[in-house]
Structure 1
Amino acid sequence: MVMRNAIYFLIFALALPAWAIDKLTASVDKNPVLVGEYFTLTIEANGKVSGQMPDTSALSQRFVTGPVSTSSRTQIVNGSMSSATTWQMQVMSRRAGDFTIPSFEVAGEQSQPINIKVVARDQDTSEQKDVFIKVSLEPQSLYVQQAALYTMKLYIGKDLIEAQLSEPLMTDATLTAMGQQKEDYEIVEGRRYRVITRNYLIQPQKSGTFSIDPPVFNGQVREGYRRMAMSAIGETIDVEVKPIPNDYRGDWLPSELVNLAEEWQPSDNKVVVGSPITRTFTLTALGITKEQMPDIDVPSVSGFRIYPDETDRNQMARDGRVISQLIASYAILPQKPGVYTLPEVKLPWFNTVINRVQYATLPARTIEVVADPNQPQLPSQSEVPQTSTSSEQTQTAVEPQIVYKEAEKSVIDWAISALGYILWFITMVIWFVKSRRQPKLAPTHNSGVKEADISALVKDLSLAAKKGDASAFYKSLRKYVETAQQLTVKAWLSEQDTEIREEIAKLQASLYSANESDVDTLSLYKKIISAEKLVKSGTQNRLEQLY
């Protein structure tokens, strides 16, 4: 018996390269089929297939197709060998009508085309009461690139075993799933259904009339001890997409509602030269994605330096609407005293409800900038004494000469001076002895932070300063301030003197603005060391150690 099988295998191995396809057939497992119901297409080749597959790309023009699975078999019966290769795929039509599955070709052999009938569903059948789909679109009237929320709800009235749910389709539009699907239960006409909800963001890219092909469900449910195959499909929604008006200017922003607000820190209209101001804009819009939210341009003002800070974009779905929000912050540094008026901020948008251009506007704001009382002020030109050129004044106006003569010191004065120096010396000795005995104080803001971590941060800051890398220096400074000091950069700057704030402003300008400015990072590093010595007197400065 073993010898006979070996002989059959040898004959099979020798004859295998000579085989070829002698027949190619195509068939479906059901005909007619319902709209949205999957059927199985089988293509079978009798004979040897050498890595070839039928081209099924033409099916995707009229049908929804799944992946192709391949299987092969070989039989030896009474010394006669036969081989066959089978390709199978799931096919579904979203529309009713008579369709033709084209012929396929493999190794020169062709199959016969198949005529298949797709029947529309009856919404009153009992199957539709077990499983059905509801779809909706808000808003239903759209402009090009306006975002709409497409909601699909799948109602299942029996125990679900397995399921397959396709995505909606729309030509010349982008469809994006929003968040995770939600599952809940609803009572419909006295019957309890398990409801699966999915939301999609739809943005048409061209104007015209389009249709949204609904999702299709195919699965199996349990009824008693039986497994039953079921399918369902939602309704097709027709959409009229309007073009962008020819007279519109600016970034295209179609929406039902746009709101622009701002926040100032500090909120006072009177500020000191060199004191940073944070201006935060909040732009909220309906029916717009976060990627469509335009940047807010802040007009430049003489006497101020303006630097962009952080920008955050978010979107969400609420009450059948897409809501997006842009939060943008700017740092404003006043440079010299005076009264300034910051111009209004005006943002155009198109109101899709009244079909008219509108503007989101922030009014102009007047700010008074005063001199820093802690900084010495140079006398103005009017205060400088003028030298008279008149010959009469030079002859008659003679300034009195004041002669200063040092007073002679007595023996008592010298004794008092010597006693003061002795007391000062004794005080310094006592302070030095006490400071050596006292434990080192921990920094003010870094409670709970490991010394090794802080030392590593300071080392990075030192290396970046010595290399002159402005970007790395600013990142290291932010990381050091937020970790070691447990402060924001804004709060940390408020504790520094004007010179350091101006140097940091120059550093930010070189990083965030188009105007490049040279920043001496090593000099700035030394100034930060000096500032730390003053703030942390009596403590050991980490920056000084590593410098």
Structure 2
Amino acid sequence: MVIRLLIPLFLLINSYSIWAFDTLSASVDKNPVLVGEYLTLTIEANGKVSGTQPDTSALAQQFVVGPMSVGSRTSIINGSMTSQTTWQMQLLARSEGTFTIPSFTVNGNTSQPITLTVVARGKDDTDQKDIFIETALTPESLYVQQAGLYKVKLYIGKDLLDGQLTSPAMNEGQITQLGKQTEEYEVVDGRRYMVITREYLIQPQKSGNFTIEAPAFNGQVRENYRRMAVSAIAEPLTVDVKAVPNDYTGDWLPSELVDLSEEWQPSDNEVTVGTPITRTMTLTAVGVTKEQLPDITMEAISGIRSYPDESDRKQLARDGRVISQLISSFALVPQTPGTYTLPEISVPWFNTVIKRLEYATLPARTITVIADVNQIATPTVPAEVPSSVIAQTPNNSASTPATVVVEQKAWYDWLILVSGYLLWIITVVIWFVRRQKPENVAAEPKKEVPEVTLKNLKKAAQLGDNTQFYAELRLYVKHQAPTLNLDTWLSQLGVAELSSEIAKLQASLYSSHEQSVDLNALYQLFEQTIKKKTMKDDKHLTQLY
């Protein structure tokens, strides 16, 4: 019973110690302080506080604010227990003047405000010589959404132990660090410095005059075996941001230079039906991000199938400029012979140097598609002229017309001619009789090439090899219809499902978009179509007989 009474009492006392305190104070470790020098703000409560902290959001309007740390301690002196809770954070003033650190409130207790004096650094300040920051923006004036390169160089003339370099800030602007910082050594006015360089991409989103708040550094260096606190801040930069011209039309692409180039593989303007062509186009622009580059598209051309590849976007900083590239590739597969003209491709952009609209252009290109020589039918050999008909042309045929002399046949010639006709009739009769009894005659061997081709086609389907399957398919069609290409042959078959599946197979080979093709199902559909076509052809021949 006693224990039950003591537990609530203990909880009450413990909870009272958590929130009960009567004073809240705030203090700084430096006052006055130099511009760009960090100071430590401490807020202290004479009690143990849990689950709450002072609101310091108002400080961000006047200072660079570091992260907040929380600590607590408890001590017992002469049987009396005391507790303290402290919150600490570092502040940095970017400009000189007199500032007020506002009061803070925790659990109903309020601290007193603090008046802080910030003093400008002297030109001969020792710390300024030991450590300083330089910044530069290229170009110095920007258009809305134009990408500028903001470079920060931190010079440290002593052994650095640790430190923190803040990022620049700008209202109505996007700031992104490019890559990782670099470290090197430079000699300035006869003194050797370690130089830390960072590059930032700055893109203003609105027109007007804006200030880029410079980064600040706070750290510790070693001097004569002692640790010394150092700090530095760069001068802020003012940038003039121009608006988009009212007469500009199209996608907004502000740049100093835009180039559009292309490569062809193969490079010849004459290609064969079914031979894939790789067209790679590269769009390069200075002063814009890779995301700003517009996609490159190609118009559909009847007779040529186009399969776009995945676009590749790149971005780098060079010679104080941001350079972006878009690389787009297309696989073009000609289907029918002829002459084709690929239309001009044009990308509009705004020249920020001469301040006018320009176009990056690829001129129209004409290609010639020829038939596959392996699919052209073999010309028939003309019949041999009978020896009985002799065209005799005398040597002086220039003035005398040619005369045809028919040789008179002797009786034995007629006997040989009649015997030949009799043998031909007997052969036809024997062939017809044997045709009526196929069970007694061995089956006529099939054409070897088509059979082997179908076997290879089936093997490629079982292996799941799309490239080999397509090659065997074209080979089979070449043997079946030497004068036709694959698309024409499929259109004559008139099987929409088969044409659709083969189109998917082509897309899987020439397009970057993943296309699922079931080769076994495609082979079965192809085999069924061939069997139906063969039965139809045999029925047609039977009707002829």
Normalising by the residue count of structure 1, what TM-score does the alignment of the two structures yield?
0.71
Which residue matches 2:346? 346
CA deviations on 1:282-316 (whole Å, 9 max, x unpaired) are 11111111111111121222222212113111111
SS, match of residue 176 in structure 1: strand
Q: Tell me, yes or no, if structure 1 residue 160 matches structure 2 residue 185.
A: no
1:18 to 5, 16, 19: 16
Q: Alignment partner of 1:128: what SS?
A: helix
1:373 deviation in Å?
2.5
Cα 1:516–1:290 change in 2 (3 A) is closer
1:184 and 2:184 equivalent?
yes
Task: Summarize the Cα distance change of 1:182–1:18 in structure 2 as closer, same or farther, 3 Å threshold.
Answer: closer
Segments of structure 2 that go 5 or more residues without pairing to the other structure are 1-8, 380-420, 428-444, 446-458, 479-484, 491-498, 528-545
TM-superposition CA deviations, 1:411-440 (whole Å, max 9, x none)? xxxxxxxxxxxxxx9xxxxxxxxxxxxxxx
Q: Are 1:170 and 2:196 an aligned pair?
A: no
Partner Cα distance (1:309, 1:370) in 2: 25
Report deviation, 1:43.
Answer: 0.6
**Which residue of structure 2 aligns with residue 413 of structure 1?**
none
* Structural mapping, 1:337-416, within 5 Å: 337-375=337-375, 406=424
Task: For residue 363 of structure 1, report the CA deviation from its aligned partner.
Answer: 0.8
1:72 aligns with 2:72: yes
The verdict on how the C-alpha distance between 1:339 and 1:176 changes in structure 2, with shifts beyond 3 A counting, is same
- Taking the aligned partners of 1:525 and 1:233, their CA distance within structure 2 comes to 73
TM-score (norm 2): 0.71
Distance 1:458 1:75, change over 3 A: farther
Partner residue in 1 for 2:41: 41
> How big is the shift at 1:518?
11
Classify 1:519/1:231 alpha carbon distance in 2 versus 1 (closer, same or farther; 3 Å). closer
Work out whether residues 207 and 243 of structure 1, in 8 Å CA contact, stay in contact via their aligned partners in 2.
yes
Corresponding residue for residue 294 of structure 1: 294
CA RMSD of aligned residues (A): 3.9
Instruction: Output aligned runs, 1:143-542, within 5 Å.
Output: 143-375=143-375, 406=424, 462=464, 499=486, 505-507=503-505, 509=507, 521-524=519-522
Q: CA, structure 1 residues 266+510, in 2 after alignment: closer, same or farther (shift >3 Å)?
A: closer
Asked if the contact 1:133/1:154 (under 8 Å) is kept, the reply is: yes
- Note if contact 1:275-1:494 (Cα within 8 Å) is conserved in structure 2: no
Q: Which amino acid aligns with 2:35?
A: V
1:481-506 per-position Cα deviation (integer Å, ceiling 9, x unaligned): 7xxx9xxx999999998649996654
Change (3 A) 1:370 1:527: farther
Q: How far off its partner does 1:269 sit?
A: 1.2
Deviation at 1:150, TM superposition (A): 0.8
- Distance in 2 (CA, whole Å) between partners of 1:295 and 1:106 is 55
1:317 deviates by 0.9
For the Cα contact (< 8 Å) 2:217–2:232, is it kept in 1?
A: yes
Per-residue Cα deviation, 1:112-167 (whole angstroms, up to 9, x for no partner):
11111222222331211111111111111111111111111111111111111111
**Cα distance, 1:249 vs. partner?**
1.6
Instruction: Indicate the SS of the match to 2:129.
Output: helix
| 1:96 partner letter | E
- Shift in alpha-carbon separation, 1:492–1:223, aligned structure 2, 3 A: farther
CA separation in 2, counterparts of 1:37 and 1:271?
71
The answer to which of 503-512 and 143-152 deviates more is 503-512
The question of whether the paired residues in 2 share the 8 Å contact of 1:287 and 1:321 is answered with: yes
Q: What fraction of aligned residue pairs are identical, expressed as a percent?
A: 63
**C-alpha distance in structure 1 between counterparts of 2:503 and 2:99, whole Å:** 70
Alignment size in residue pairs? 432
Aligned residue for 2:179, secondary structure, equals: coil
Q: State how far apart, in whole Å, the 2-side matches of 1:22 and 1:66 are.
A: 28
Displacement of 1:510 in angstroms is 8.7
